[in-house]
Amino acid sequence: MVEEQELVIALKTEAEKESAFRELVSQYKERLYWQIRNMVLDHDDADDVLQNTFIKVFRNIDSFKGESKLHTWMYRIAANESITFLNKKARRNNVSIDNVKNNAVRKLETDVYFEGDQLQLEFQKAIATLPEKQRLIFTMKYFEDHTFEELSEILETSVGGLKSSYHIAVKKITEFIKNHNETL
């Protein structure tokens, strides 16, 4: 695996840019995909946002100053792109962002790319009730196992703030599932 610093240099060198970019995509495509998919839920939407994320990275690599790590920067772009995507979808359909999220969760019931059981579906419904940033924090921590320190760099928020937001999210999800599924 090519080291991150070497990759940045290669990405900024015209002759090596394309091959370095292929390497970058191969290293990060899965991690970024799952981060995005957890936010937008639908596979086709996740594919769109993932492509936009990499296109942004490709186009803006020259403005990347190296003040943060490359992967931190990419995760941040993916997070912003996911939220921007949901907002744009809401505006395009002239509905609220909650409406967009509820529709996405409802669609999961018939989605061929979702094979979760009833509890997993309830879990997704519960996550969808969280505000955008809290949802991002929860999914990145719970499913992708980022540390609070990493999240603090990616989302430019204090560790304390992230911890508190995460615990509130857990509380809200627990409440939601309890109210909807007495067996838990």
Partner 1 sequence: MEKNKNIPNFKTPKNYFEDFEERLFSKMAEENFPKSTGFKLPKQYFENLDVRILKEVSLSEKPKKVIPLFPRKYFGYAAAIAASLVIGFTLFNTKVEISNLDSLQLAAIDTYIEEGNLNLDLYDVTSYIENEDIANIDLDAKYFTDSSLKEYLFENIDTETLIDE
Q: Which residues bind partner 1 (CB under 8 A)?
A: 18, 21-22, 25-26, 29-30, 33, 37-38, 41, 43, 47, 50-51, 54-56, 58-60, 63, 77, 80-81, 84, 88, 91-92, 112-117, 119-121, 123-124, 131, 133-134, 142-143, 157-158, 161-168, 170-171, 173-174, 177, 184
Residue labelled with tokens 């924090």? 137
The Cα–Cα gap between 13 and 162 comes to: 37
User: Of the candidates 6, 32, 5, 10, which has an alpha carbon nearest to the alpha carbon of residue 21?
Assistant: 10
Contact between 61 and 13 (Cβ < 8 Å): no
Residues with Cβ within 8 Å of 99's Cβ and at least 6 positions away in sequence, in order, are 90, 93
Closer residue to partner 1, CB minimum distance, 102 or 157: 157
Q: Among residues 69 and 142, whose Cβ is nearest to partner 1?
A: 142
> Least distance to partner 1 from the beta carbon of 66, Å?
14
CB of 60 to partner 1, least distance (A): 5
Q: Tell the smallest beta-carbon distance from residue 125 to partner 1 (Å).
A: 12
- Report the residue number, 5 or 160, with the smaller CB distance to partner 1: 160
Instruction: For partner 1, give the closer residue by CB, 78 or 150.
Output: 78
Q: How far is the CB of 121 from partner 1 (least distance, A)?
A: 7
In whole angstroms, the minimum distance from the beta carbon of 167 to partner 1 comes to 4
Q: How many Cα atoms within 13 Å fall on the side-chain side of residue 20? A: 19
Closest CA to 83 of 26, 44, 134: 134
CA gap 153, 46 in Å, rounded: 23
Q: Closest CB to partner 1 among 3 and 117?
A: 117
CA–CA separation, 6 vs 126, rounded Å? Answer: 42
